[in-house]
Structure 1
């Protein structure tokens, strides 16, 4: 794209950036609102008692987390297909609209509160995420072509929208779901997904031809042929029959595991109904998939040019660390809500209740006030061009403010306060907003640590967070169904988990861009997303045993698993520093 063509986007600026960036900011914010809002209440709804005032379905934690794990895993895999479709067939803007519409239908289906509609809803959410997720950042990348010096700031603003959406979504969907009714919580997520989609759809005049259906010009076709000619001079690592065989075994085994695991735990449906060396069919196929994928990497990597091979091995090691990190970190969506509900004293009285209400008011109103200021700034610059989009966006904020005021009114009426289970999940977004600027300054300074140290810090801090939970639960006897532990342990856990995330999470894509040659980016991007997907599934596969481990060994033992394993893997990262430094060939 001609750089001068992109200058038009910088004429109408909001906070120094094109107005179109803030349309994307709010679209992504509503999508994250709906995703995190739904996820915050899913497990506590599924495992809630049938006899409560706001009854759940009384599923076992194993069944609930098995479903959540399969959902979370597929959420990270479908964007690979959605990104390809947008790049080659339908364009980014259409993909975003299709994805948002599918997710709206998904949330609406979940609000019906029947098993059939739950599964239909989750299927729509997975497919919709595949269309939506990869293409928002693609539009930003195209918008800022020729303005690379502004890209870092643009992505920082965009990811603030991600955290703002997660923050508000967890707070409002969580409160509405727990205090009013689960259907209303799921429905609220769907309403804002729909409003976000409509706001984006009617703002498309701001984006011009960016994100339209791709049409290759002759010059692009000529450039592509030149790339192919250039690649012909490079020693390419073509796929051979053994590669395809391993990919086939891996794909089939992984799909069997992904589908069979929730089927067996929710409906007691055993797809193959066999055991091997004491392993269930689900676990057998999971291990088969893991072994074949490792074999594929071992067979393919030696066939690359030496320096490329070394860098890809280094990145593969980072992907392995990534699996272990997310396997522990994602307990926040599965086992931690169960711990919060059943083992934490969330009832506050007197001065403690008043203090919490004031803190809750500040952390709710201040971020929302700042985002509303950004909204008004966007209105002033774009109302003449995209008035309908602005009206839809404004209406969504009126609804948010109305719910927030009602929530605060209800909370301040009571002398006793029960902190919602979902309230603690907002701490992650809150801590990210607080500490991300400090970590950015650290990484930009001369004290920026090497990759192995960053991975060590991320895993070590994550393990320490679980260590607080293990220490807090040390006196809870094995088999206890409830306890009254201090909320302070949860706050400390979320703080250290977030600090660990800030050390490790941004590193994956950064080292992908630095270590992997351009022609291999797509393949290794898939490997990286696969690592996160495996971590998410593994998190809830292990986390689903919270009831079993707590009954047999105690709650503290459950959290010690997630204390020692991340710290141990972190120490391995430190010990591998000399090897990783050599493999990275000067890349920092």
Structure 2
């Protein structure tokens, strides 16, 4: 292992998994079941929120439901920051993943309770659990490789295939149960999936060797007590703020959603400021973090568009597509499986391509390609929306084509971004940097949830065309700055 490998990374020798460390199989399957639960619930969430009360839904307006969906996604990824801190400073990545899985499963079981309050209570638990699991399981994948190994991107692409295997299966099951039988039964299926994930992780921990076994930078003695006290104060302030909103009569869905969106952006600015001004990181690490700021902005812009698949595009699928096949109207949420099945097909090809190209194509260039393709998908979606003007139902193949373009963009950006994060991370912020990477998704989703409100006031074709062209322009701008960003990466490709 080279000297610049992540702290504590000591992958076990022995059998391999598709030519990679055997431990990758345990992490692959754990993440597969976690994503089954997450995407299974996500596929029906907006449809449940907007469904009439008489149909078992909550009867929330589409504009608010889209904002709730975007903010929920943002909170899932925002909590990756404290989740990474807990792993780095308190209990290590391995135990963080275990306890995160347990809390996620509990949240889905709460959502399965057939009452209105259960959905928001369950979502809160899922947010907390995912914050513990999501960044730390990715950190453990990074621990299996040398920091600048060409095999690293390939390993993350295989891991990414596991994510999408769970995401493919989930909507087919939860969508049918939720839309055709009972919404809460669909949420219950997601709970069972996460339970499988926890059991598999416990059974396969012997494969992990030392990966994630210890905190990277543990807090001890008085420092530990001081940090826990501050965390307790922060939680207390948050609860007090919620109480004030409640007593003042301002505790509404829209108010909470808007405040959380602002909080996400403020946390991002504060966190980057903290890392860049930390005197304990080296000049080289600080230079690489400056490069990472650019990658972060590109990623946030990507997810702003991409994650509207579960909100604006999901509602389009329900209301404006012809889903009748042989007399059977398939659930709108089934179209949420198109994206992951295409990634399952494309991920091995992407893994082979990045391994074949090695360092000849830089990380910033891959990000630029992702942005351009993502923008073109919304340009195509504008044509689909125009074809649906007047109430006509359009072919679901429009959405299939949109998702296919987005998948090509995702495979250029997302697994590569995971790998780049572990390579550019200052040693002190190993797990927390994975939290920062997921914060890019949080920022994109938080802003995207607010942007999605415009889909109700603008014509849909104008909405899709505007944001599609904006993404294309940003991608072309990224190409122009590729050389400067590569210089800031200080030898990391």
Regarding TM over 0.5, the answer is yes
Question: What is the distance in 2 between the residues matched to 1:439 and 1:16?
Answer: 16
CA drift of 1:74 comes to 1.9
Structure 1 residue corresponding to 2:408, chosen from 490, 494, 499: 499
Aligned pairs for 1:152-551 within 5 A: 155-204=156-205, 267=252, 282=259, 285=262, 289=266, 293=270, 296=273, 300=277, 310-348=287-325, 415-443=326-354, 444-445=356-357, 448-477=360-389, 482-519=391-428, 525-549=434-458
CA drift of 1:61 comes to 1.7
> Is contact 1:112-1:183 (8 Å) kept?
yes
1:555 aligns with 2:464: no
RMSD in angstroms over aligned alpha carbons?
A: 4.3
Question: What is the distance in 1 between the residues matched to 2:30 and 2:137?
Answer: 9
CA drift of 1:548 comes to 2.5
CA drift of 1:319 comes to 1.1
> Is contact 1:34-1:190 (8 Å) kept?
yes
1:573 aligns with 2:485: no
> Is contact 1:264-1:270 (8 Å) kept?
no
C-alpha spacing 1:540/1:264, structure 2 compared with 1 (3 Å): farther
C-alpha spacing 1:291/1:309, structure 2 compared with 1 (3 Å): closer
> Is contact 2:281-2:426 (8 Å) kept?
no
> 1:102 — aligned with what?
103
1:215-236 deviations in whole A, cap 9, x for unaligned? Answer: 999xxx9xxxxxxxxxxxxxxx
Question: What is the distance in 2 between the residues matched to 1:329 and 1:569?
Answer: 15
Aligned pairs for 1:108-119 within 5 A: 108-119=109-120
Question: What is the distance in 2 between the residues matched to 1:470 and 1:575?
Answer: 27
> Is contact 1:342-1:483 (8 Å) kept?
no
Long gaps (5+) in structure 1:
222-251, 272-279, 349-414
SS in 2 for 1:468: helix
- Between structure 1 and structure 2, the one with the greater Rg is 1
> 2:131 — aligned with what?
130
> Is contact 1:452-1:577 (8 Å) kept?
yes
CA drift of 1:466 comes to 0.9
Question: What is the distance in 2 between the residues matched to 1:339 and 1:77?
Answer: 28
Question: What is the distance in 2 between the residues matched to 1:215 and 1:586?
Answer: 24
> Is contact 2:47-2:315 (8 Å) kept?
yes
> 1:61 — aligned with what?
62
C-alpha spacing 1:43/1:213, structure 2 compared with 1 (3 Å): same
Question: What is the distance in 2 between the residues matched to 1:558 and 1:199?
Answer: 43
C-alpha spacing 1:96/1:179, structure 2 compared with 1 (3 Å): same
SS in 1 for 2:328: strand
SS in 2 for 1:474: helix
Question: What is the distance in 2 between the residues matched to 1:216 and 1:460?
Answer: 39
> Is contact 1:83-1:131 (8 Å) kept?
yes
> Is contact 1:27-1:200 (8 Å) kept?
yes
C-alpha spacing 1:294/1:95, structure 2 compared with 1 (3 Å): closer
1:525-544 deviations in whole A, cap 9, x for unaligned? Answer: 55433222111111222113
Question: What is the distance in 2 between the residues matched to 1:574 and 1:519?
Answer: 31
C-alpha spacing 1:183/1:265, structure 2 compared with 1 (3 Å): farther
C-alpha spacing 1:16/1:488, structure 2 compared with 1 (3 Å): closer
C-alpha spacing 1:101/1:210, structure 2 compared with 1 (3 Å): same
> 1:45 — aligned with what?
48
> 1:368 — aligned with what?
none
TM superposition score normalised by structure 2:
0.79
